[in-house]
A = this chain, B = another copy of it.
């Protein structure tokens, strides 16, 4: 069940068609996952979202593409977004994430959540040494 009905023939809209074509070209695959079908209920939202995802996640930058997928997973797990966890775990595996790296990723995000709770529960004051402005 979902809160909008995806358009039954999305590529009849030329704006949707252009985005779907770019997704296929960028990913070198004919598979368009559900996220884009659902976002197609509003072509403006679809265009903006894809443009940003492409710029950040599919373009070489200061961080490795696989590292970016794992960061995406870390945020998605913490926010509890089931769809995002599934889609980005699949992407990370497609980009080469091994089972050992997957298990390591899980240990880090689990530990971080745990120590977040401890620091927050104790309301530990931030050490002045951590202030970036103090480093200047």
Where the two chains meet, the residues of A that have a C-beta atom closer than 8 Å to any C-beta of B are 1-6, 31, 33-35, 38-39, 41-42, 44-45, 48-49, 52-53, 56-57, 61-63, 67-68, 70-87, 89-90, 98-136
The reply to whether A131 and B75 form a contact with Cβ atoms under 8 Å apart is no
**Alpha-carbon distance A45/B31, docked complex (angstroms):** 31
In the complex, which of the residues B74, B82, B90 contacts A75, with contact meaning CB atoms closer than 8 Å? B74
Assuming the contacts A87-B130, A118-B39, asked whether A108 and B2 have C-beta atoms less than 8 A apart, the reply is: no
The reply to whether B62 and A126 form a contact with Cβ atoms under 8 Å apart is no
The reply to whether A87 and B5 form a contact with Cβ atoms under 8 Å apart is no
The reply to whether B62 and A112 form a contact with Cβ atoms under 8 Å apart is no
CB-CB under 8 A from A85, the residues of chain B are 3, 120-121, 123
The reply to whether A83 and B117 form a contact with Cβ atoms under 8 Å apart is no
**Alpha-carbon distance A63/B15, docked complex (angstroms):** 23
